[in-house]
Amino acid sequence: MTDGWGFRRPDDDDGTAAQHTPPAVAPPASFWWSDALNDPWRDPHSPVALVPPAERAHAPEPEPLAEPDHTRRRTLWTVAGAAVLAGVLAGVLGGAMGVRFSDDRLAARSILGSTAAPPHRAPESLAAVASLLLPSVVTVRVPVDGSVSLGSGFVASADGHIITNDHVVSGSSGVVSVIFDDGTSSPAKVIGSDPESDVAVLQVKRAELHPAMLGDSDAVAVGDAVVAIGSPLALRGTVTAGIVSALDRPIATEADNGATRYYAAIQTDAAVNHGNSGGPLVDAAGQVVGINAVIKSMAGSEESAGNIGLAFAIPINHARRVAEEIISAGRAHRTVIGAEVEESFRGPAGGVRLGQVTATGPAAEAGMRTGDVVTSFAGRPLSEPTDLIALVRKAAPGAVVEVTYKRGSTSHDAAVTLVADAD
């Protein structure tokens, strides 16, 4: 049954089948109920009574409309409910498994964020260098006239030898003691000191010492990274960092006994203050290359002086030689060239003029005379008397040094073999 036109084949009188053409009229319009199941305004639960118009009574009746399948609707709702329930159960199960396998992670988290793994520090990092040296560094406590003076030092041998500055222990009026990085302390014996080089040696009786590694100060270059460790202003275990600013900086300071200290220092911009004296200056490999000794300041007095990035350390090669002589012989010998210098001389082209030249001394044996002007020592130009003295003190007795000097307008080169003083 369709909504279009139809045709039939009637029986003829003579029994011959004749084909009839459908009338050439337009097909009647479809009724609105012909697609009732897809009607969006239809209420499937309301009774339906369809009565064709009188003028279309002869039209074929439409196909009966089936009532909605209530069983199918209930099945769809059941499937949908089961799907929702399955989703809820899956979410609960997944959450439980997530909590189960992340217990350790949740335990490590804090309220304000997660806890990162400990950082891995390279052996040459500043933190690694500090960790290596801190057990070797000590605070030196020296009783002086009813009060206590503080300085720094470091363990240099398994026998308990500690190197510090002479000016740290000079003037002691009682028992010197040292405080280690772990806070424990031990009494220390002053083995000996050398005021002119500003080096002193102490010794403690203690198990499980951590001697520092001593480097080669002759291998230090300007720009090398360095670390200063000590007790500035009584702040034990302070670590500061900087670079080597200059080498062979001539230093001359007055000792308590009236002598003058001379050394060719390592200059650094690492922060050094009162109390750092005697502590180590360490390179990036964790090796001691110097002993912090002097600072320059714009302050009007030594007591109010503070760090301005100009600190000076005794090269460890110089300090080790002096310390070994103190340990083995009780005193150290100065290195000399066998001539005095004229403090007042200032030549237009620099240089240091020699005063009295010892007849059998190193300078005389190399052909030098009184009045000669030394312009360079070991390849380093000279401009002040302090320059020559500091460089001579730095060298070890027996060292052969190339010297350039002038006699009048003539320049000469000589190889001078330095010696220890006779005193």
Tell me, yes or no, whether 357 and 212 share the same domain: no
Q: Domain of 176: which CATH number? A: 2.40.10.120
Identify the three-state secondary structure at position 150. Answer: strand
| Contacts for 61-65: CB closer than 8 Å, 24+ residues apart | 62/1, 62/31, 62/33, 62/34, 63/1, 65/33, 65/36, 65/37
Average pLDDT over residues 8-22: 47
Tell me, yes or no, whether 227 and 154 share the same domain: yes
Is residue 260 in a domain?
Answer: yes
| Contacts for 134-138: CB closer than 8 Å, 24+ residues apart | 134/181, 134/229, 134/237, 134/239, 135/180, 135/181, 135/182, 135/210, 136/210, 136/211, 136/212, 136/280, 137/181, 137/212, 137/229, 137/230, 137/237, 137/279, 137/280, 138/162, 138/178, 138/179, 138/180, 138/181
Whole-angstrom distance, CA of residue 48 vs CA of residue 109: 69
Taking only Cα atoms into account, the Rg of the chain, rounded to an integer number of angstroms, comes to 51
- Domain-terminating residue out of 312, 332, 352: 332
Burial 109-137 (b: 16+ CB within 10 A, else e): eeeeeeeeeeeeeeeeebeebbebbbbbb
Q: Write the CB contacts of 360 (distance below 8 Å, at least 6 apart in sequence).
A: 338
Q: Write the CB contacts of 135 (distance below 8 Å, at least 6 apart in sequence).
A: 180, 181, 182, 210
Average pLDDT over residues 129-148: 94
Helix (H), strand (E) at residue 128: helix 126-133
Tell me, yes or no, whether 291 and 390 share the same domain: no
Is residue 283 in a domain?
Answer: yes
DSSP assignment string, 324-385: HHHHHHSS-PPEE-SEEE-TT---TT--EEEEEE-TTSHHHHTT--TT-EEEEETTEE--SH
Residues in the chain: 423
Which residue has better confidence, 319 or 173? 319
Of 30-44, 112-126, 274-288, the poorest mean pLDDT is in 30-44
Is residue 21 in a domain?
Answer: no
Tell me, yes or no, whether 181 and 320 share the same domain: yes
Q: What is the pLDDT of residues 74-111, one digit of tens each?
A: 565 665 666 667 666 666 566 656 555 555 554 555 67
Asked if the model's pLDDT at residue 62 lies above 60, the reply is no
Domains contained in the chain, number: 2
Residues with catalytic annotation? 167, 198, 277
Please, which pLDDT band fits residue 216 given cuts at 50, 70 and 90? Answer: very high
Q: Which residues pair with 211 in a beta bridge?
A: none
Helix (H), strand (E) at residue 393: helix 385-394
Is residue 133 in a domain?
Answer: yes
Is residue 40 in a domain?
Answer: no
What pLDDT, on the 0 to 100 scale, is given for residue 211? 96
Which residue has better confidence, 57 or 181? 181
Tell me, yes or no, whether 224 and 270 share the same domain: yes
- Domain-terminating residue out of 311, 332, 353: 332
Whole-angstrom distance, CA of residue 270 vs CA of residue 227: 7
Asked if the model's pLDDT at residue 44 lies above 50, the reply is yes
**Strands 185-194 vs 311-315: parallel, antiparallel or unpaired:** unpaired
What pLDDT, on the 0 to 100 scale, is given for residue 256? 77
Tell me, yes or no, whether 361 and 340 share the same domain: yes
Tell me, yes or no, whether 279 and 225 share the same domain: yes
What pLDDT, on the 0 to 100 scale, is given for residue 241? 97
* pTM exceeds cut of 0.75: no
Is residue 70 in a domain?
Answer: no
Cβ atoms of 266 and 220 closer than 8 Å: yes
- Domain-terminating residue out of 332, 356, 380: 332
Residue 332 has phi, psi (to 5 degrees) of -115, 155
Domain that holds residue 401: 335-420
Please, which pLDDT band fits residue 349 given cuts at 50, 70 and 90? Answer: confident
Cβ atoms of 142 and 169 closer than 8 Å: yes
Tell me, yes or no, whether 245 and 384 share the same domain: no
Q: What is the pLDDT of residues 154-204, one digit of tens each?
A: 999 999 999 999 999 998 888 999 999 999 999 999 999 999 999 999 999
Cβ atoms of 352 and 373 closer than 8 Å: yes
What pLDDT, on the 0 to 100 scale, is given for residue 297? 78
Tell me, yes or no, whether 209 and 317 share the same domain: yes
Q: What is the pLDDT of residues 354-399, one digit of tens each?
A: 999 999 899 999 999 999 999 999 999 999 999 999 999 999 999 9
Identify the three-state secondary structure at position 132. Answer: helix
Please, which pLDDT band fits residue 348 given cuts at 50, 70 and 90? Answer: confident
Tell me, yes or no, whether 402 and 350 share the same domain: yes
Is residue 243 in a domain?
Answer: yes
Tell me, yes or no, whether 243 and 170 share the same domain: yes
What pLDDT, on the 0 to 100 scale, is given for residue 63? 52
pLDDT > 90 fraction of the chain, expressed in percent and rounded:
58
Tell me how far CA of residue 389 lies from CA of 44, 324, 393, 396, in angstroms.
Answer: 118, 22, 6, 13
Q: Domain of 376: which CATH number? A: 2.30.42.10
Of 215-219, 254-258, 396-400, the poorest mean pLDDT is in 254-258
Tell me, yes or no, whether 266 and 399 share the same domain: no
Is residue 38 in a domain?
Answer: no
